[in-house]
Amino acid sequence: MKENPDILSDIMTDTRKPRDKRTHDERLEDLRSNFEQLKAQAIASGKINDCSITKICHKASVSTSYMAGNKLKNDGLNKRYKQIAKDINDFRNDFEKLQADSDLTLITKEKQALEDQRDKAQTGYLEALKSIQGLKQLLEDKNKQLKSHQQQAVNIAYQNLQTQSLTKDPSQLANFSTAQVISPDKYLFKNGKYTFHDERMREAAWISAKNELETLLKRPLPTRVYLCVGMPCSGKTTWTKGSHYYPDRHPVVIDATNLTRSDRSRWFNLVYKYKYQADIKMCAVYFEVPYIVIQERNCQRTPDRRIPDDKLQDMHRRLESADISEGFDEIIVIRYE
């Protein structure tokens, strides 16, 4: 599209406008500046009429009559006005090509290409997800079949144990209520002295207790792991010596403070290695004892087993109650009375 500068004229009104005190050089500079601005706007919007002689002159407050190039006596100025009009019309004539080659258009094309790639990836992801879900269902079915066979094996093994015990001694029956107690503390004695504050021995005790638990978890028996949670002197060891266990599974007891979620997660990480291969349940045994009672009991301990007050206070501060969200199947709370 091309505007004919010969037909452009000022819109005359009876109201007198303030006299424009700008020089022609300043007016020409304003025209050129507004031309560049409206040119960029037209390319961005894709609308050619955002950049026209009329709009540029209006924005620059310059009469369109100058654009014909014959209004002034000064031929040099007339040529400069006419040149701007020519540049505007040239831009409008080449608008489609300029728009196609603009950076914005290139970015738009790249954006569209990326959107197409994203949509293709999304389609591929959904198809893969369907396949994964199908494999997951197949895995769940196989796990159910495996558990069923494992339970049959456990039942047979249990019956064999009962038969063997009755053959040897009818009074001795296999009893699931006999607990296997794992206590890292038993590995902390050196030359008959309790060494709770030796960090290296405590880490070695953890490794020994971990290996002991792993050996028990490998057995083809339905198992319930009782994880004690409580302060020193809260009665954990005393509780483990009683007959407080459910009779439906073999009880394995971890007799340790296990104060925080982080402490307990170390045991969970080990149990999870076998939880989906064997019939294992996790049961927290949380000991709720007033701190003053803990202090009194601690004072009654032998010097090598007594915990300093500042250390005991720090342990009490860090104690976090057991919660189902950690992965426990059951929680038993032992309250002081």
pLDDT tens-digit profile of 175-207?
555 889 999 888 887 776 777 667 788 888 889
| Contact by Cβ (8 Å): 4, 67 | no
Tokens (6 digits) for 89: 């019309």
Q: Which of these ranges, 35-49, 131-145, 151-165, 230-244, has the smallest mean pLDDT?
A: 151-165
| Last residue in a domain, options 101, 132, 160 | 101
Residue 258: CATH number of its domain: 3.40.50.300
Same domain? 96 vs 189: no
Is the model's pLDDT at 12 over the cut of 50? no
Is the model's pLDDT at 173 over the cut of 80? no
| Contact by Cβ (8 Å): 81, 5 | no
Same domain? 186 vs 97: no
Q: Is 234 within the bounds of a domain?
A: yes
| Last residue in a domain, options 49, 84, 101 | 101
> What does the pLDDT read at residue 175?
53
Same domain? 197 vs 322: yes
- Count of domains for the chain: 2
Tens digits of per-residue pLDDT, 26-37? 999 999 999 999
> What does the pLDDT read at residue 240?
92
Please name the residue ranges forming H helices in the chain: 24-45, 53-60, 75-93, 95-101, 103-168, 199-217, 236-240, 261-275, 291-299, 309-318
> What does the pLDDT read at residue 157?
57
> What does the pLDDT read at residue 148?
66
Same domain? 206 vs 85: no
Higher local confidence (pLDDT), 283 or 197: 283
Same domain? 77 vs 224: no
Q: What is the mean pLDDT of the chain?
A: 84
Residue at token pair 């300043």:
26
Instruction: Grade residue 17 by pLDDT with cuts at 50, 70 and 90.
Output: low
> What does the pLDDT read at residue 297?
96
Tokens (6 digits) for 117: 């790639």
Instruction: Grade residue 244 by pLDDT with cuts at 50, 70 and 90.
Output: confident
Tens digits of per-residue pLDDT, 32-54? 999 999 998 998 888 999 999 99
Instruction: Grade residue 320 by pLDDT with cuts at 50, 70 and 90.
Output: very high
Same domain? 192 vs 325: yes
Q: Is 92 within the bounds of a domain?
A: yes
| Last residue in a domain, options 70, 101, 132 | 101
Q: Is 217 within the bounds of a domain?
A: yes
> What does the pLDDT read at residue 37?
95
Instruction: Report the percentage of the chain scoring pLDDT > 90.
Output: 51
Same domain? 191 vs 289: yes
Same domain? 203 vs 329: yes
> What does the pLDDT read at residue 33?
95
Q: Is 309 within the bounds of a domain?
A: yes
Same domain? 199 vs 92: no
Average pLDDT over residues 280-284: 95
Which residue type, as a one-letter code, is found at position 293? V
Q: Report CA 185 to chain centroid distance, whole Å.
A: 37
Same domain? 218 vs 326: yes
Instruction: Grade residue 6 by pLDDT with cuts at 50, 70 and 90.
Output: very low
Same domain? 195 vs 87: no
Is the model's pLDDT at 144 over the cut of 60? yes
Same domain? 212 vs 308: yes
Instruction: Grade residue 2 by pLDDT with cuts at 50, 70 and 90.
Output: low
Range of the domain at 64: 24-101
